[in-house]
Amino acid sequence: MFKRLTALLLLMVTAVSVFAQTDAIKSLNDKVRKTHKDTFETKADSMTNAFIESFMIKTKGVFNVKYGYYQNNIYWQQAHAIDVVIYNYQRQKNINRTLANKYLNYIRLWYKNKSNNYSGAAAASTTTPNTTDGYKMFENPYTDDMCWVTLTLLRIGEATGTSSYSIIARQVFDNYIIKRAQEDEATGGLWLPWNTDVGSGPNACTQAPATLIAAKLYKKYGTEKYLTYAKKLYTYTTKKIVKGGGRVEEPPLTYTQGTFAEACRILYHVTDESNTMKNRYKSYAFTYLNYAFGVDSNGEQHDRCTSAKGNNLLRDEGHNADQSLFKAVLIPYAVNYVLDEDMAKANRTTIFDYIVKNTKMMWKNLDISRYPIVFCNYDWRYAYTGEDSDASMGAMCSGSSLMENTARMCRAIIDRYNLGALYAECSKFTIEPGHEEDAELTPFYTAMAAAKEIIDNPNDYMTYQFLKAIEDLQAAYQAAQDYATAIP
* 3-state SS record for 334-402: HHHHHHCCCCCHHHHHHHHHHHHHHHHHHHHCCCCCCCCCCCCCCCCCCCCCCCHHHCEHHHHHHHHHH
Q: Lowest mean pLDDT of 25-34, 142-151, 294-303, 363-372, name the range.
A: 25-34
The model's confidence at residue 373, banded by pLDDT at 50, 70 and 90, is: very high
The hierarchical CATH code for the domain 2-37+65-305+413-486 is 1.50.10
d(C-alpha 173, C-alpha 164), whole Å: 14
d(C-alpha 395, C-alpha 117), whole Å: 21
Considering Cα of 198, then 204, then 210, then 211, what sign does the dihedral take? Answer: positive
Provide the residue ranges of all domains of the chain, joining segments of one domain with +. 2-37+65-305+413-486
How high is the pLDDT of residue 131?
Answer: 52
d(C-alpha 276, C-alpha 259), whole Å: 22
Beta strands 189-191 and 182-184, pairing class: antiparallel
* Tens digit of each residue's pLDDT (9 = 90 or more) over 114-159: 999 987 655 444 444 555 555 678 999 999 999 999 999 999 999 9
Mean pLDDT of 373-401: 98
Please state the pTM of the whole predicted model. Answer: 0.89
CA 479 to each of CA 175, 475, 486: distance values in angstroms, whole numbers, following the listed order: 52, 6, 11
Residue type, 99: L
How high is the pLDDT of residue 23?
Answer: 54
d(C-alpha 222, C-alpha 216), whole Å: 9
Mean pLDDT of 16-23: 48
How high is the pLDDT of residue 443?
Answer: 95
Helix axes 345-364 and 326-339, enclosed angle (nearest 10): 140
CA 459 to each of CA 266, 294, 394, 428, 455: distance values in angstroms, whole numbers, following the listed order: 10, 27, 29, 26, 9
* Tens digit of each residue's pLDDT (9 = 90 or more) over 25-75: 566 666 666 555 558 999 999 999 999 999 999 999 999 999 999 988 899
Q: Lowest mean pLDDT of 265-274, 278-287, 415-424, name the range.
A: 415-424
> What b/e sequence results for 364-389 when a residue is b if at least 16 CB atoms lie within 10 Å of its CB, and e otherwise?
ebbeeeeeeebbbbbbbbeebeeeee
At residue 111, the 3 state secondary structure works out as: helix
* Tens digit of each residue's pLDDT (9 = 90 or more) over 188-237: 999 999 999 999 999 999 999 999 999 999 999 999 999 999 999 999 99
